[in-house]
């Protein structure tokens, strides 16, 4: 697997408390948008994200964002 699986063609928008999160970059996780270890044996690894204060986060669901774990609208350009 060289390309991530598109888990969703929209962001996962959710209230997020301060803390450390591991965002799924492969798209295979059953716990989207977070890693559940499904990447094992692939070229992918989760991205560690530190949220310093509670806020609503738009986590990337398409796995093609140029803004890491955060949605940048890339899902609108996918076929």
Domain extents in the chain: 12-77
Peptide bond before residue 28 is cis, with ω within 30 degrees of 0: no
The pTM assigned to this predicted structure is 0.94
Residue 14 DSSP class? E
Are the C-beta atoms of residues 47 and 22 closer than 8 Å to each other? yes
Summarised one tens digit per residue, pLDDT across range 14-73 is 999 999 999 999 999 999 999 999 999 999 999 999 999 999 999 999 999 999 999 999
Are the C-beta atoms of residues 27 and 6 closer than 8 Å to each other? yes
């Amino acid at each position: 697997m060289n390309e991530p699986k598109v888990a969703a063609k929209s962001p996962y928008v959710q209230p997020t408390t301060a803390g450390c999160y591991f965002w799924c970059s492969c798209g295979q996780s059953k716990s989207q948008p977070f890693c559940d270890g499904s990447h094992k044996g692939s070229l992918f690894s989760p991205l560690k994200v530190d949220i310093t204060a509670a806020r609503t986060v738009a986590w990337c669901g398409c796995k093609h964002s140029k803004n890491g774990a955060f949605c940048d609208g890339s899902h609108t350009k996918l076929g």
